[in-house]
Amino acid sequence: MEKKGRVFSGARPTGRQHLGNYLGAIRNYVALQDEYDCIYCVVDLHALTTLQDTQRLREWTYEMVLDWLAAGIDPERGTIVFVQSHVPQVTELHTILSMIAPLGKLLRLPTYKEKVRQQPENVNYGLLGYPVLMAADIALYKATVVPVGEDQASHLEFTREIVRTFNYHFGPVLVEPQAKYTETPRVLGIDGVNKMSKSLNNHIELASSPEEIYARVHMMVTDPQRQRRSDPGRPEVCNVFSMHKIFTPPEQVKQIDHDCRTAGIGCVECKRIFAGHLIEHLAPFRERRARLSQDPDYVWNVLREGARRASVIASQVIEEVKDAVGLPKRR
């Protein structure tokens, strides 16, 4: 089937993935493979902007990519999976684009301001140049489509602007990517208040065993007004119910909605049902993960081949860029 274009997306290496990563990104990554040529990149250089301890980057890269592959990201279908720093042309393009990146604009980006607030003791250049490196990531592969959640829209807009500026000055070399807004539900953690995140330890890992899933789901906060088993509940404020809507068959969701409101079901039972569906949903993932991890080189081989294929595109584009800019050729 003729593909609609080329998708690029990057994610920081964060180790084992959780349900929030899965619902927010990974399942979109998997689905996009049907219609697009996909390039998925582990952006390890980006990770350096905020990490104090970089010694676990290799382990986190391995674990994250293993989860991606187990979830259905499939190099056999032509998808390129690679590590950003393995294709160093991105740093060259970053330097070239930085010469036309408007400093005032970078300083005003809300994400930069937020990072300055979060880590005032380490306001490094990388934080400011982050959107320029991101633009280089995307432009280096002439990606036509970038999946984004609403919160990353300003960064992609910056990429589009810098590509337009480059093409205006140097000719139509780079491709202006289109945003593909993806449905990214705000997945709350088991505390029922904050976004699911490892740092808050409110997450459920995809690679958890059934026992671990039961234990984590059992800890989930429900409707706070439902103090006793006999109190009617409000599914609309309950995070367990939000998860039912994703993982439980619709007929059963309707029944749970009714039973919760009439105190016909207790929260313990309700959670047990959800955990059962989640475990079932993740069973193929767990099996694939176990199988792939039997060969400790598998992930690194996929990444090596991904870098090789990415380099073919990157080498050509960086040459076009240098030529357009007028840098003297090495003879």
Q: Return residues touching ligand SF4 (CB under 6 A).
A: 222-223, 226, 233, 235, 238, 240-241, 260, 265, 267, 270-271
Closest CA to 249 of 222, 281, 219: 281
Burial letters for 201-218: b for 16+ Cβ neighbours within 10 Å, e otherwise? ebbbbbbbeeeebbebbe
- Closer of 8 and 241 to ligand SF4 (Cβ): 241
Taking the least distance from each CB to ligand SF4, the nearer of 155 and 226 is: 226
Q: In the bound complex, what is the minimum distance in angstroms from residue 292's beta carbon to ligand SF4?
A: 34
Nearest approach, Cβ of residue 270 and ligand SF4 (Å)? 3
**CB-CB contact of 87 with 93 (8 Å):** no
Q: Is 113 a catalytic residue?
A: no
Closer CB to ligand SF4, 231 or 323, in the complex:
231
The DSSP element (H or E) to which 31 belongs, if any, is: helix 27-32
Which residue's CB is nearer to ligand SF4, number 184 or number 242?
A: 242
Measured CA to CA, the distance from residue 98 to residue 24 in angstroms comes to 30
Alpha carbon distances (Å) from 39 to 24, 79, 256:
17, 6, 40
Q: How far is the CB of 281 from ligand SF4 (least distance, A)?
A: 18
Tokens of 283: 């069973």
Whether 180 is a known active-site residue: answer no
> Does the annotation mark 198 as catalytic?
yes
Tokens representing residue 61 in the block: 């890269």
Q: How far is the CB of 285 from ligand SF4 (least distance, A)?
A: 24
Helix axes 110-118, 125-139, angle to 10 degrees: 140
Residue 207, Cα to own-chain centre: how many angstroms?
17
CB of 227 to ligand SF4, least distance (A): 11
The nearest distance, CB 214 to ligand SF4, in angstroms, is: 14
* Pair of tokens at residue 229: 């088993």
Query: For residues 66 and 15, what is the distance between their CA atoms, to the nearest angstrom?
Result: 9
What is d(CA 113, CA 124) in angstroms, rounded to the nearest whole number? 12
- A 10 A CB-CB count for 75 gives 18
> For ligand SF4, which is the closer residue by CB, 46 or 226?
226
Give the integer Cα–Cα distance in Å for 1 and 34. 9
- Catalytic choice (198, 245, 254, 322): 198
Neighbours of 304 (CB within 10 A): 13
CB-nearer residue toward ligand SF4: 64 or 267: 267
Q: Which is nearer to ligand SF4, 240 or 318 (CB)?
A: 240
Mention every residue, 6+ apart, whose C-beta is less than 8 A from residue 68.
17, 26, 29, 40, 81
Closest approach of Cβ 262 to ligand SF4, in Å?
A: 10
> DSSP character for 85?
G
Q: Of these residues, 4, 105, 113, 195, which one is catalytic? A: 195
Active site residues: 115, 195, 198
